[in-house]
Amino acid sequence: MLEVGRLSVAYGGIHAVRELSLEVASGELVCLIGANGAGKTTTLKAISGLIAPQGGSVHFDGRSITRLPAHEVARRGLSLVPEGRGVFPRMSVAENLLMGAYARNDRAAIARDLDEVYALLPRLTERRTQMAGLLSGGEQQMLALGRAMMARPRLLLLDEPSMGLAPLMVQAVFDIIRRIAASGVAVLLIEQNAHLALKTCARGYVLENGVITLSGAASDLAADPAVRQAYLGE
């Protein structure tokens, strides 16, 4: 579904991502792990159209999206849940969710999808009239996931969904991510908690200084001595 070929991104004279290649199949759950500053967020921004790559290509469902603006990429069925959630704090939970469907005009289907999101995220049902800025960090992460699902994505890009969350809330958020993937939505996950990412995903890539250094089955990466020492604290 997603094929990234030799992607390069530079900020001024600094190469944040160099010749990066990865792929995600339909319905697959894949992670990209690496230290702070490795280029993980830059990679997602380039895939989703928020920044223009210096070189390389991005194909989604067999069609090039390399130079498309972000709103056109989103219309193709690729949704980004950014680091820090990015909810609209002065809008209600319900209004935030409906913003995810801004490009749609199928009102009956939107209403059905809204009901499905509330069923997936019952905590939001209780808070549908509450301002998003008053939610806890975990609840805001759930809201960001629900808003992305309202766009009916076929591929979900997740940037550090566990950041700043209490351990119990991290587990709750990752349970939701697994359920989303089980519904058939492909997921590319960036996560600094490498242990959790490799436990959740089927495949993974290791990014170091903008370069993919390792890739393979998540279980193989978790057993790799270099990965264990650098990212799993063993």
Amino acid at 30: V
Tell me the mean pLDDT in the region 19-28. Answer: 96
Indicate the pTM of the whole model. 0.93
Among left, alpha and beta (phi > 0; psi -120 to 50; other), residue 197 is alpha
Amino acid at 88: F
Q: How many CB atoms lie within 10 A of CB 21?
A: 14
The pLDDT, as a whole number, for residue 234 is 59
The pLDDT, as a whole number, for residue 232 is 82
> What sign does the CA torsion over 37, 33, 194, 186 have?
positive
Whether residue 233 has pLDDT greater than 80: no
Looking at the domain 2-86+154-231, which fold is it?
Answer: Rossmann fold (3.40.50)
Amino acid at 170: V
Whether residue 84 has pLDDT greater than 90: no
The owner of tokens 């995220």 is 121
Helix (H) or strand (E) holding 214: strand 211-217
> What sign does the CA torsion over 79, 232, 18, 39 have?
positive
Condensed to tens digits (0 to 9), the pLDDT of residues 141-194 reads 999 999 999 999 999 999 999 988 989 999 999 999 999 999 999 999 999 899
| Structural contact between residues 75 and 104, judged by C-beta atoms closer than 8 angstroms | no
The pLDDT, as a whole number, for residue 150 is 96
- For residue 148, give the nearest of 20, 7, 44 by alpha carbon: 44
pLDDT band at 131 (very low <50, low <70, confident <90, very high): very high
How far is Cα 42 from Cα 30, in angstroms, rounded to an integer? 17
